[in-house]
Structure 1
Amino acid sequence: MFEKCQEVSQWMAAFEGKWFIAGGWAIDLHIGEETRQHQDIEVAIFREDQSLLKETMSGWRVHVIENKQLRDWDQLEQLEMPVHEIHAKTDVQELEILLNERGGDRWVYRREPEITFPISHMNLHSEQGFPYLNPEIVLLYKAKETRQRDEQDFEKIFPRLNEQQKEWLKQGLIQCHPNHPWLEKLLL
């Protein structure tokens, strides 16, 4: 179980910054079991740590997504907003890295900088020891363009969210997606 997360943990072992498994894998790590097939695996890091990432990904083919196009990442280039997605590949490995913003001791939602989260509370680890992004943050990202797998993730994780997590997600959705269908459950 969680073999892909184990691989990522090995790949990221040399990374000296803070990192978290993100996306659907983060949801499954919080639940404690693989609940569905995953197409890829994402890792979240802070934008300020991208130079550390370049060192860690030495030997990988590294590209960024800019204006929905894949392009090479010049190793001297510092990626700025709105660029936030990096793809790294070897012949047998592939990883998507998502740059996250921070302001002081708070994580900052790149789509709405008024939405923040204390970094000190972003220390979630699975039973296997894998760091993962808080599920309420993952769900806020998934809410923008909700797909079937995102609905599945929400349904699986919702009963496992505590009241504080539900409240944070509810406030984020009200601010960013006030008509989102997940609010029906969160407003009960």
Structure 2
Amino acid sequence: MTWEPASLSEVAELFSRVRTPWWVAGGYAIELAVGHAFREHADVDVLVLRRDQLAIQEALPDWEWWAADPPGTLRPWRPGELLPEGVDDVWCRPSASAPWRIQVMLDETLGDEWVSRRNPAVRRAVADLGGVSVAGIPYLAAEVQLLAKARGTRPKDEQDFAAALPVLDSLQRAWLANALQETYGEHHWLDRL
């Protein structure tokens, strides 16, 4: 399956039509938090709250949407279909002949709280879930993104952690340390926080 990730400016333009919260996620979220690019990316991720999932279909009605049913089978996401918990990723492209451009991730909420996919006991106010870059692009807070990257870390996750660590303030470090301990008990990043 061919990927040609949308640029961050294209993502911002396309998702400016979405009238609910959304955030650039994944490695690009770390780069936006750090303030500069430092590695290559195979895709671009956007986080949307599951409760707002239909807003993205409505904002980009001409795009193709494909749900990644566990354990990773792609199937068309029909207009108006509510994806259930457990179907957390959606691939999208402007047409059937176009390469995949954006991966949308769906996360849970309880009231006004975001609920971690890794551990439902780890929560955060939706209002505090991210920041906004100097270019006006919303991005998932680095410490929240690092929690998602902490399971089964790959070289790129280690690179993201190393790049983000100097820009995390004491509150962000404490939140990540607590979330890592609550989720994994032990984690090799804890010694550096």
TM-score by length of 2: 0.91
Q: Which residue of 2 aligns with 1:89?
A: 93
| 2: CA distance, partners of 1:71 / 1:120 | 32
Tell me, yes or no, if structure 1 residue 143 matches structure 2 residue 143: no
1:93: how far off? 5.9
Greater CA drift, 130-139 or 105-114: 105-114
Q: Which residue of 2 aligns with 1:119?
A: 126
**1:127-183 alpha-carbon deviations (Å, 9 max, x no partner):** 111000000010000011211000000001101101111111111111112232111
Amino acid at match of 2:127: S
Tell me, yes or no, if structure 1 residue 70 matches structure 2 residue 74: yes
**1:39-95 alpha-carbon deviations (Å, 9 max, x no partner):** 110000111111111112311111011112111112232111111101001226610
* Identity score, percent: 33
| 2: CA distance, partners of 1:72 / 1:7 | 23
Q: Which residue of 2 aligns with 1:168?
A: 175
Greater CA drift, 116-125 or 97-106: 116-125
1:15-94 equivalent positions in 2, closer than 5 A: 15-67=18-70, 68-90=72-94, 91=98, 94=101
Say whether the 8 Å CA contact 1:21–1:43 is kept in structure 2. yes
Alpha-carbon RMSD: 1.4
Gaps of 5+ in 2: 1-5
Greater CA drift, 117-126 or 144-153: 117-126
| 1: CA distance, partners of 2:19 / 2:100 | 20
TM-score by length of 1: 0.93
Amino acid at match of 1:157: A
Amino acid at match of 1:26: A
| 2: CA distance, partners of 1:111 / 1:185 | 21
**1:19-54 alpha-carbon deviations (Å, 9 max, x no partner):** 000011010001111011111100001111111111
Say whether the 8 Å CA contact 1:20–1:132 is kept in structure 2. yes
Gaps of 5+ in 1: none
| Counterparts in 2 of 1:93 and 1:6: CA distance versus 1, 3 Å | farther
| 2: CA distance, partners of 1:111 / 1:26 | 18
